[in-house]
Amino acid sequence: MKDLGIQRGEMVALDGLNSPEHLMLWLGLEAIGASPAFINCNLTDKPLIHCVKVAKARYLLADEGVRNLVEPVEQELLDAGSKTVYYTAESIGSLTDMSKYPKDRYQKVDPMGVAALIYTSGTTGMPKGTVITRLRELLLIRGPVGNSKLLPLKPGDRMYTCLPLYHGAAHGLCVLPSIGAGSTIVLSRKFSHNKFWQEVHDSGATHIQYVGELCRYLVNAPPNPLERDHKVRMAWGNGMRPDVWEKFRERFGIEVINELYAATDGLLFSTNANRGPFSRNAIGVRGALWHLLNGSKYKRILIDPDTQEVLRDAKGFCIEAKPGEAGEAIIKMNVADPDRGTPEYYGNKEAATKRRIKHVFAKGDLWFRSGDLMRLDSDGRLFFVDRLGDTFRWKSENVSTNEVGDVVGEFPDIAEANVYGVLVPNADGRAGCAAVVPRQGLTHESVDWARLAEHNLGKMPRYAVPVFIRVSVELEYTGTMKMQKGRLRGEGIELDVIEQSARDK
């Protein structure tokens, strides 16, 4: 970095697989006052060029392992002012200059300055670069997460993660809290259900990080002799589905499932260190004291699932969701200084302001939209329902794709299920469609479809039962194991389109 002349305040694109070298470059850049822009290492072509341009980076530091994705666009990047420099374990290990940078490179650093960029997944367009401030990183190191109130880490503990370092989960909920606690990071190259328990066992990990469907993969995998021969006390992450929760705990012998809700470009953070049946499947528990301290700042409002717009009463104000009703979580903002402490997209102020909503409960008030539907029950348990856009209306009823997918996935013949709404000619709303992968050893001919229909009708109201079933060899996931619904929704129930898509794979 010294040879490259990287300056304080400069943004440097970092595109790499999970490795110690990736960590060294990340922390080295921040140590000299520069800012890494974490590129999804699966990107190539236009999305890759877009992300580097967003960062206005003079350099793209790229892992040799992603050369095949970067090399085809190197000239376009160079034309845009970004030079690509490849690194390997050998090249980093050969560095001999250990001289310290001058103190002015890291003294008097603005806490609200840009520490890093983490990109959104790009499900609604090209990825946006979410600004991570130095203060936010410090809070993750020494705040409620990093000082053991929410995540009990201490020196001697070891947190295992196989999640990509370019994503906020590994970045802010593993690496930074581990640094703050003085504990050890156990870094896997990538998730593999064949290697997972071997790596957890060999490393002596005390905590494991999960996200999305990782836990389902493990539960569906064949038995492993090491799956209970480990030191893991806690599983920490987000997105564990209800039909997997107890199977995961009982099979692998993990006492605490610490389910959390957070978003890189959001404001709401919630955790549930679950040990028993009461708070199972929840992302938090809201008691009387919580409502006394926070009830006026955090609300849930009703949403029209067709338009994704908020519902308003006769006076023009939003309608607060009652216990048991799903509503979008919103957080109150400071009207006098709305930018302070709220997420920012680098070079895209307009995208951030779209997340704000005015005149919610009073004229002139200002709130931040999470984009997520949540349900609070009468016992104070808070549940994640769905991402806005992942719900649909059928037969004049609202349907949650996640909740339907959980039910379909419980059927013994089904390994995975991804539910989404599809347009049907001459019908209002969207009908449910479930893309399913049969359990190992079964084919579409041997799945008991009649019993699946009985199972669905016995577990769900009729309007929620998928009208269509699409049998797939595998389902598509994001880099952080969230199910991809966009392409499936777009292909709908047009057989020629679906068949062409299958041929193109």
**pLDDT value at position 38?**
98
Q: Which two tokens stand for residue 166?
A: 């370019």
* Alpha-carbon span 248 to 349, nearest angstrom: 42
Confidence of residue 470 (pLDDT cuts 50, 70, 90): very high
* Alpha-carbon span 2 to 34, nearest angstrom: 12
β-pairing verdict for 207-211 and 381-387: unpaired
pLDDT in tens, 53-105: 999 999 999 999 999 999 999 999 999 999 999 999 999 888 877 777 777 76
Contact 475, 435 (CB under 8 A): yes
**pLDDT value at position 143?**
74
Per-residue pLDDT at 503 exceeds 80: no
Contact 173, 221 (CB under 8 A): no
To which residue do tokens 């329902």 refer? 385
To which residue do tokens 């799956």 refer? 227
Contact 173, 207 (CB under 8 A): no
pLDDT in tens, 194-230: 999 999 999 999 999 998 778 988 998 999 999 999 9
**pLDDT value at position 387?**
79
CA 30 to chain CA centroid, Å, is 24
**pLDDT value at position 281?**
93
Considering only residues 375 and 217, tell me which one the structure prediction assigns the higher pLDDT.
375
Radius of gyration of the chain (CA): 23
Q: How far apart are the first and last CA of the chain?
A: 40
CB atoms within 10 A of CB 248: 19
Per-residue pLDDT at 284 exceeds 90: yes
CA 71 to chain CA centroid, Å, is 28
To which residue do tokens 């003085």 refer? 182
pLDDT in tens, 142-195: 876 666 678 889 999 999 999 999 999 999 999 999 999 999 999 999 999 999
The mean of the pLDDT values for the chain is 90
**pLDDT value at position 11?**
97
* Alpha-carbon span 391 to 399, nearest angstrom: 6
3-class DSSP state of 121: coil
What is the largest distance, in Å, between two alpha-carbon atoms of the chain?
A: 72
Averaged pLDDT, 348-365: 91
**pLDDT value at position 288?**
94
Domains of the chain (ranges; CATH) run 1-131 (3.40.50.980), 143-285 (3.40.50.980), 286-386 (2.30.38.10), 392-504 (3.30.300.30)
Contact 444, 471 (CB under 8 A): yes
Reported pTM: 0.82
To which residue do tokens 């490849």 refer? 86
Per-residue pLDDT at 122 exceeds 60: no
